[in-house]
Structure 1
Amino acid sequence: MTDRDHLWALVHNERAVLADDLADLDSDQWAQQSLCGEWTIEKVAAHLTAVATVGPLRWIGSVLGARFDTDLHNARRLAEHLGTTPDETLASFRHVLTSTRAPLGPTEAWLGEVVVHAQDIRRPLGISHAPAIEATTEVARFYARKDFAVNSRTTADGLRLTATDSDFTTGSGPEVIGPTLSLTMAMAGRTDYCDDLTGPGAEILRSRCS
């Protein structure tokens, strides 16, 4: 198995675990706000389906059609995969669990999509499931070295991030200490996860998230 194949295997596993979590939701939970802006839980699930169905050429065409307005681009693609009921939205997501189709960018970015958005769903709902530590560590390393879908490298710049549950550590400066997942979500701009972090750099990181 190549490194890329291994990363896709991690993506597929995280999608499958999330789909099982979604299967237990009631209608009120599907309509609840996620950690991802104004999107509901259902809209985040539809977005994950959209990401897994749009290849590079179609992605470029969609972005051009939206005149580089990424919010409009995302809204159009999301609307394609939002079912008339949550059950339909979940069925569409299950259909792409093993997809390797993705827009432009490294595979780590698409692993990051499912890791981060799964927590955008789980945290507000109080679901305790967490991504596999291997998947989270891969995303943390990628986020620390590159700004891609989120300004993660910029957010972590000038700080030393140290995980308490893995060998992930990066950077120099005031230290931020916490679980790998919380460090990853903070780099992705999710302020809620800053509550899990300690160290002299924790408040600096929080200010950048907000």
Structure 2
Amino acid sequence: MHTTAAAIWQTVHEERQRLAADLDGLRGEQWTVPSLCPGWDVHDVLAHLVDSARIGRFGFVRELLAARFDFDRANERGIAREKRQDPRDTVAALRAAAGLTRTPPAQPATRLVEAIVHGEDIRRPLGLTGSYPETAIAEALKYQLRTPVSFGGGRERAEGLQLIDRNTGATWGDGDSITGDAVDLLLAVSGRRVERDGLSGAGADRLTAAERA
């Protein structure tokens, strides 16, 4: 089932506000907890979300040129630009940008992937529980499965695997089966570490090994 752009943006806007609300009560030391995103702490990921919410097509191209087409360098520049001295100000910046519908030269689903995956990058190390619409997770997962790893997706990681959502029975792909919660499948395909006992099936070991690739 295809999700409309309007529905995607509504979910993205709601998830940004939900994340801001979850982070309101964080203590000082919690902001430096390492996120699931290698090399970034919780505050870094938040600043990245602010930057990605604010940057549009032309801004994205301009920043990429300034970073000499190095995506990692462009992301680091964005974090430096949006990371406030007081993390509470960065939370306020996310709230202020929550309703924006800007995106790089890519489908709106990229923002859906960011909202969910980066939301979990922050929440899981802090012991917070996220709750996302099943349709949104499925749309984000479909996007990641058709997008190469070099462009931030996970197509190669899931090659030769059949992913099965244990809650809905929905499946993606063909090959060795791997069953788990859809959000865990999304994270694993996106290169994040997922608890091995949350996944089962002949393909589970392959996918968890691919998280590090």
Could you tell me how far apart the structure 1 residues matched to 2:20 and 2:55 are?
20
- 4+ residue segments displaced more than 3 Å: none
Could you tell me how far apart the structure 1 residues matched to 2:33 and 2:193 are?
18
Could you tell me how far apart the structure 1 residues matched to 2:168 and 2:185 are?
11
Q: Which amino acid aligns with 2:142?
A: R
* Correspondence list, 1:20-169, <5 A: 20-147=21-148, 149-169=151-171
- What do the CA deviations read for 1:33-54 (whole angstroms, capped 9, x no partner)? 1011111111100100000111
- TM-score, with length taken from structure 1: 0.95
Could you tell me how far apart the structure 2 residues matched to 1:99 and 1:168 are?
31
Could you tell me how far apart the structure 2 residues matched to 1:188 and 1:166 are?
21
- 1:129 deviates by 2.4
SS in 2 for 1:175: strand
Q: Which amino acid aligns with 2:155?
A: R
SS in 2 for 1:155: coil
- 1:143 deviates by 1.4
Stretches of structure 2 that go unaligned for 5 or more consecutive residues are none
Could you tell me how far apart the structure 2 residues matched to 1:138 and 1:128 are?
20
SS in 2 for 1:152: coil
CA contact (8 A) 1:186 1:194 kept: no
- 1:104 deviates by 1.6
Q: Which amino acid aligns with 1:92?
A: A
Q: Structure 1 residue aligned with 2:191, among 181, 189, 192?
A: 189
- TM-score, with length taken from structure 2: 0.93
Q: Which amino acid aligns with 1:184?
A: L
Could you tell me how far apart the structure 2 residues matched to 1:142 and 1:166 are?
18
Q: Which amino acid aligns with 1:16?
A: Q
SS in 2 for 1:35: coil
CA contact (8 A) 1:140 1:168 kept: no
Identical positions, percent: 34
Root-mean-square deviation (CA), in Å?
A: 1.4
Q: Which amino acid aligns with 1:109?
A: T
SS in 1 for 2:163: strand
Stretches of structure 1 that go unaligned for 5 or more consecutive residues are none
Could you tell me how far apart the structure 2 residues matched to 1:193 and 1:98 are?
33
**Matched length:** 209
Q: Structure 2 residue aligned with 1:207, among 171, 187, 209?
A: 209
SS in 2 for 1:177: strand
Deviates more, 1:180-189 or 1:101-110: 101-110
Could you tell me how far apart the structure 2 residues matched to 1:166 and 1:118 are?
22
